[in-house]
Structure 1
Amino acid sequence: MKRIHLPCFPARHDLHAMVHVPSPGSGAERARATRSLWRAVPWLLLGAWLAILPTQNASAMPEFARRYSLSCVACHSAFPRLNKFGEIFAKNNMRLPNWMETSAQLNDDRLALPDHVPLAIRAQAYLQGRQGQAIDPISGARQSAATDFQSPYLLKLLSSAPLSKNITYYFYAIMGEKGGNGEVLVEDAWFRHADIFGSGIGMMLGQFSLSDSMFPREIRLPFQDYMVYRMAGVTYDRGVLFDRDIGRFGIDLGFTNGNGITDNFKINGTGYSRPDRMFDSDSSKTTFAHIGTDIGPVAVGVFGAAGKQRGAAGPAGMDKSQRNTDKRVVGLDASGDIGANTHWYTQYLWNDWDGFLDADPTRNYRWSGGFAGVDWIPDDRWAFSALYNRASAGDLAHTNTIFEGIDINSLSLTASYYFMRNVKGIIELNVDFQNRTRPTGPYFTGHLSSENYILFGFDTAF
């Protein structure tokens, strides 16, 4: 069954920047860092305990709830996780049958304008105690902090509205993310037509995440991400997506630029001061598809993608190559419910990157990874989640590049307390099981120290 989402949690990542390489340090340095981290834990737990005490709450409801005079609980089992009605709402082009009645009454049945500016805000703030370190793969210079005030972690402006019988638009702009103040980035931004030429085929045109056909990252309950999606490069891109239900099967078929959502190029040719830009650096495109269905109580799916990506060049593979290399991804996914309050999901991806490293362009590199999670929502105040991430660098291991950092083996345990439907406090503990390694060449790459963390904070949408 195709999963269509109501996006809430964006994130943007570049593969080269994403692969975290912690510092090796000496044994004494690691011991001091560990002691500093665990000395901070009691204070973090105290702050977390204070955070979940009853407090005065402000009344705030997201845009869809305002438009249709519904509580958030109509679509969310625990914000931002969708319930069955929320999935149907999203699949119905994010509208209810009375959508026209919520538009401004202008005595023109050929004009559907929202009766107010359709805007919503999302904000997140956290405090984290961590062992992970930032390290320069070339020099080995490192930075670390046992405690980290991540506030604001995310500020986002969202907007969506139905514009005609079949057309809806959606976008969000990130006004600040992960300390990147002073910048604005648009991630999800698309128009969707629900029924092209009366064929029953839906079409989405714009920016979206390829992985949304499987498990949308924006509606996950844990703070920790579905790491393999970022590593495999199946997140945000520009393109077109077609979808249709045929019998018991939901089918997605899409085509994207394959070079993300930030690059563009001036059109200059032989002219001067051309007014336009290209959003793609070459004619190659990424083709992807997902087919999903239900087998008894279990939803299962198959995903495939093929296209081009820039290879890796320079010291430790940190630079983008001038070569386009072939890339293929195959995935399997499954999900289901245990009773009324427990939901499970799992995903695995196999990746082929042909000739990816400039250091050995004749070699093909294969690696794989996935995740498994469970959400337990016992009542309208609490939600508990467990998320296990596992990936192996495969042929990219021992290449003395940052792509050795694909290796991951971690478990994240999350508790969310809902002050209101749209305001929650989060406590999350991440345990890193990955064995530490030593540099195998001239660069500081690999999993050189543990990356355990404990986090608490707030997440709200209004």
Structure 2
Amino acid sequence: MKNTFTLSVLTLIVISFLASDIFAIPAFARKYNMTCKTCHAPFPKLKPYAEEYAANGFVLKDQDAPRYFLDTGDPELSLLRDVPLAFRLEGYVTYNQSNLEKSDFNAPLLFKILSGGAITKDVAYYIYYILENGEPGKIEDAWLMFNDLFGSKLDFTIGQFQVSDPVFKRELRLTRDDYYIYKVRPGFSNVDLTYDRGIMLNYGFESGTDLTIEIVNGNGIGEGVSNVFDDDKYKNFVGRISQDVGEHLRLGTLGYLGKEEKTISDIAYTNQLWMVGGDATISLDPLELNLQYIERNDDNALFENNKTDAKTRGAFGELIYRPEGDASKWYGVAIFNWIESDFRELNLKQLGVHFGYVLRRNIRLVAEYSHNFTDKYGKMNLGFVAAF
């Protein structure tokens, strides 16, 4: 453990040394020499312009990135002039985390090294290395995307990503409170809607309809055994469709079908599961409302001889207020999480209220209070989120 931590620290020092003055602002803003508010309101929350930029392989259709590639004299070689890097740092002063009735300095809670961009025309990558909760670092997002495959509007992504990304991106939320229904794993199941390994296909229609299909291992992004990451012979399937309805409304639906296997005392047990859900985003400046509902059924989440169906359902609602849109110096968020399950330890009713002040476009000061109505306690966070 000590050697792993030392190696992580040395890695960060080396990368920080290599990152010269050109890495003084986040990588994508630096690439096009523009302000962070072009894409964020506030960071890391994405605006529609940024969603289009990401879907286009980190290329702006209306701007060129001068001197982005080296001229090597070889038309078959696309070599980045400088590898884009950015950093994110978060820290908090907290009270009553996990109902422990004590204060704590959660700083730094999180440190990320991020890199991403276009490798060549219609091929892009994204990756980040994260140190969180004082633990040794690991890689979470790490994928390669082929944009507009075969000249169509089909995008193909392979690697590590969050299953829920086509709906709401957890890593881009403004609150410390999470979208908890995405993290639920009933019983001994390894399946949830967060990180997994697999492939993703996206297709956008001119009608404002977006279609996504994912095929994933179904067991997260833990360590592999003998160079094999999937711990059973099954693959899980995800389908997602969303539709823009006018300027201010987006509606979507999600389906997940999976099967997993565990061997206990040399006996193999399986759990078949499905999830269905609906979501909506309503944008009426200065307000934005995001809604998600998920229904889940596992037929043997305890991996026993006598299979028993277990139902889990949950939702979240997130209301964001920005009084002056992307120019707002302050903003507010209210987030409500609800989970109800046959596994009672998963049950949750929690309301969070978050206020933020944009000290700089890439530095936020935040205050957040969350009240857990299930376990009857509240917790407080005061802190900062910085990107550079």
TM more than 0.5: yes
Task: Provide the C-alpha distance between the structure 1 equivalents of 2:223 and 2:97, rounded to a whole number of angstroms.
Answer: 33
Aligned position for 2:370: 430
Residue in structure 2 matching 1:83, options 19, 42, 47: 47
Residue in structure 1 matching 2:25, options 61, 73, 76: 61
Aligned position for 1:123: 89
- The residue identity in structure 2 corresponding to 1:423 is I
Contact 1:61 1:71 in 2 (8 A): no
**Partner secondary structure for residue 28 of structure 2:** helix
Aligned position for 2:270: 324
Aligned position for 2:338: 390
Q: Can you list the C-alpha shifts for 1:369-417, whole angstroms capped at 9, x where unaligned? A: 0100111112431011000001101x22xxxxxxx22111111000111
Contact 2:232 2:260 in 1 (8 A): no
The structure showing larger relative contact order (alpha-carbon pairs under 8 Å, at least 6 residues apart) is 1
2:329 is equivalent to residue 381 of structure 1: yes
Q: Name the count of aligned residue pairs.
A: 352
What is the TM-score with the length of structure 1 in the denominator? 0.73
**Partner secondary structure for residue 165 of structure 2:** helix
Percent identity of paired positions between Structure 1 and Structure 2? 30
Distance change (3 Å), C-alpha of 1:329 and 1:65: same
Offset, 1:60:
4.9
Distance change (3 Å), C-alpha of 1:356 and 1:96: same
Aligned position for 2:12: none
Task: Provide the C-alpha distance between the structure 1 equivalents of 2:283 and 2:41, rounded to a whole number of angstroms.
Answer: 13
Aligned position for 2:293: 348
What's the RMSD between the two structures over aligned residues?
2.1
Task: Provide the C-alpha distance between the structure 2 equivalents of 1:110 and 1:386, rounded to a whole number of angstroms.
Answer: 50
- The residue identity in structure 1 corresponding to 2:181 is V
Q: Can you list the C-alpha shifts for 1:30-51, whole angstroms capped at 9, x where unaligned? A: xxxxxxxxxxxxxxxxxxxxxx
Residue in structure 2 matching 1:334, options 259, 264, 280: 280
Task: Provide the C-alpha distance between the structure 2 equivalents of 1:130 and 1:309, rounded to a whole number of angstroms.
Answer: 37
Contact 2:277 2:295 in 1 (8 A): yes
Contact 2:271 2:303 in 1 (8 A): no
Aligned position for 2:102: 146
Distance change (3 Å), C-alpha of 1:366 and 1:312: farther
Aligned position for 1:160: 116
Offset, 1:364:
0.6
Task: Provide the C-alpha distance between the structure 2 equivalents of 1:131 and 1:167, rounded to a whole number of angstroms.
Answer: 42
Task: Provide the C-alpha distance between the structure 1 equivalents of 2:303 and 2:116, rounded to a whole number of angstroms.
Answer: 43
Contact 1:244 1:251 in 2 (8 A): yes
Task: Provide the C-alpha distance between the structure 2 equivalents of 1:305 and 1:99, rounded to a whole number of angstroms.
Answer: 39
2:379 is equivalent to residue 461 of structure 1: no
Task: Provide the C-alpha distance between the structure 2 equivalents of 1:291 and 1:375, rounded to a whole number of angstroms.
Answer: 24
Task: Provide the C-alpha distance between the structure 1 equivalents of 2:268 and 2:223, rounded to a whole number of angstroms.
Answer: 15
Offset, 1:283:
1.9
Which has a greater percent of strand? 2
Task: Provide the C-alpha distance between the structure 2 equivalents of 1:235 and 1:303, rounded to a whole number of angstroms.
Answer: 14
- Say which one has the larger Rg: 1
Q: Please, which runs of 5 or more residues in structure 1 have no aligned partner? A: 1-58, 134-143, 267-276, 315-320, 397-403, 435-448
**Partner secondary structure for residue 222 of structure 1:** coil
* Residues 271-420 of structure 1 mapped to structure 2, 5 A cutoff: 277-296=227-246, 297-309=248-260, 323-339=269-285, 341-358=286-303, 361-379=306-324, 380-393=328-341, 395-396=342-343, 404-420=344-360
Task: Provide the C-alpha distance between the structure 2 equivalents of 1:224 and 1:324, rounded to a whole number of angstroms.
Answer: 33
Offset, 1:311:
6.6
Residue in structure 2 matching 1:251, options 211, 214, 225: 211
- The residue identity in structure 1 corresponding to 2:383 is G
Q: Please, which runs of 5 or more residues in structure 2 have no aligned partner? A: 1-22, 186-191
Aligned position for 1:196: 149
Contact 2:118 2:124 in 1 (8 A): yes
Task: Provide the C-alpha distance between the structure 2 equivalents of 1:312 and 1:348, rounded to a whole number of angstroms.
Answer: 32
Distance change (3 Å), C-alpha of 1:427 and 1:148: same
- The residue identity in structure 2 corresponding to 1:172 is Y
Offset, 1:194:
0.5
What is the TM-score with the length of structure 2 in the denominator? 0.86
Residue in structure 1 matching 2:35, options 60, 71, 84: 71
Offset, 1:310:
5.2
- The residue identity in structure 2 corresponding to 1:167 is V
